[in-house]
Amino acid sequence: MPAGSKRKLHFTSPSFILVAGFIVIIAIGTLLLMLPVSQRHPGTLHWIDALFTSTSAACVTGLVVVDVGSTFTVFGEVVIMLLMQLGGLGIMTMATLFALLVGRRLSLKDRLILKESINADSMEGIVRIVRKVLIFSFTIEGVAAVILALRWAVEMPFGQAVYYGIFHAVSLFNNGGFDLFGNSFIHYRGDWLFNLTASVLVISGGLGFLVLSDLFDFRKKRRLSLHSKMVLSVSGALIVIGAVILFIFEFTNPRTLGALSWDEKIYASIFQSVSTRSSGTSTVDISSLRQGSQFFMILLMFIGASPGSTGGGIKTTTFLIMIGALVAMIRGREDIILFRHRAPKEIIMRALTIIVISLIIFGVVVMLLLTVEDRAFLPLAFEAASAIGTVGLSMGVTHQLTDWGKILICITMFIGRIGPLTISYALRPKQGKQLYRRPEGHIVIG
Phi then psi for residue 7, to 5 deg, are -90, 120
- CA atoms of 246 and 257, how far apart (whole Å): 9
- CA atoms of 30 and 79, how far apart (whole Å): 10
What pTM, to 2 d.p., does this model score? 0.87
The 3-state DSSP class for residue 341 equals: strand
The total of other beta-carbon atoms located within 10 Å of residue 258's CB is 11
Phi then psi for residue 394, to 5 deg, are -150, 150
Q: What is the mean pLDDT of each run of 10 residues along the chain (446 residues)?
A: 46 68 90 94 92 93 90 94 86 57 56 58 63 83 95 93 94 89 86 93 86 80 86 94 95 92 93 88 91 94 85 88 91 87 88 91 95 93 93 90 94 86 63 67 69
Q: How far is CA 431 from CA 1, 419, 425, in A?
A: 7, 21, 11
Give pLDDT, residue 1.
Answer: 42
- CA atoms of 121 and 411, how far apart (whole Å): 28
Q: Do residues 268 and 296 make contact, with C-beta atoms less than 8 angstroms apart?
A: no
- Domain residue spans of the chain: 14-427
- CA atoms of 316 and 388, how far apart (whole Å): 15
Q: How far is CA 328 from CA 21, 151, 237, 252, 443, in A?
A: 40, 49, 20, 39, 20
Give pLDDT, residue 95.
Answer: 56
- CA atoms of 148 and 356, how far apart (whole Å): 41
The total of other beta-carbon atoms located within 10 Å of residue 325's CB is 16
Give pLDDT, residue 4.
Answer: 43
Provide CB contacts within 8 A for 256, sequence distance 6+.
Answer: 250, 268, 284, 285, 288, 289
DSSP code, position 9:
B
Q: What is the DSSP string of 112-152?
A: HHHHHHTT-S-STTHHHHHHHHHHHHHHHHHHHHHHHHHHH
Q: What is the dihedral of CA 350, 351, 354, 356, to 10 degrees?
A: -110
Give pLDDT, residue 332.
Answer: 86
Q: How far is CA 394 from CA 15, 190, 275, 378, 379, in A?
A: 30, 22, 12, 11, 8
Q: How far is CA 392 from CA 59, 184, 311, 319, 430, in A?
A: 10, 11, 11, 21, 35
306 CB burial (10 A radius; 0-12, 13-18, 19+): buried
- CA atoms of 390 and 375, how far apart (whole Å): 21
Terminal Cα distance for the chain, rounded: 37
Helix (H) or strand (E) holding 338: strand 337-338
Partners of 285 in the beta sheet? none
Give the distance from CA 236 to its chain's centroid: 17
Give pLDDT, residue 6.
Answer: 46
Phi then psi for residue 265, to 5 deg, are -60, -45
CA atoms within 13 A on the CB side of 334: 0
Q: What is the dihedral of CA 147, 153, 157, 161, to 10 degrees?
A: -20
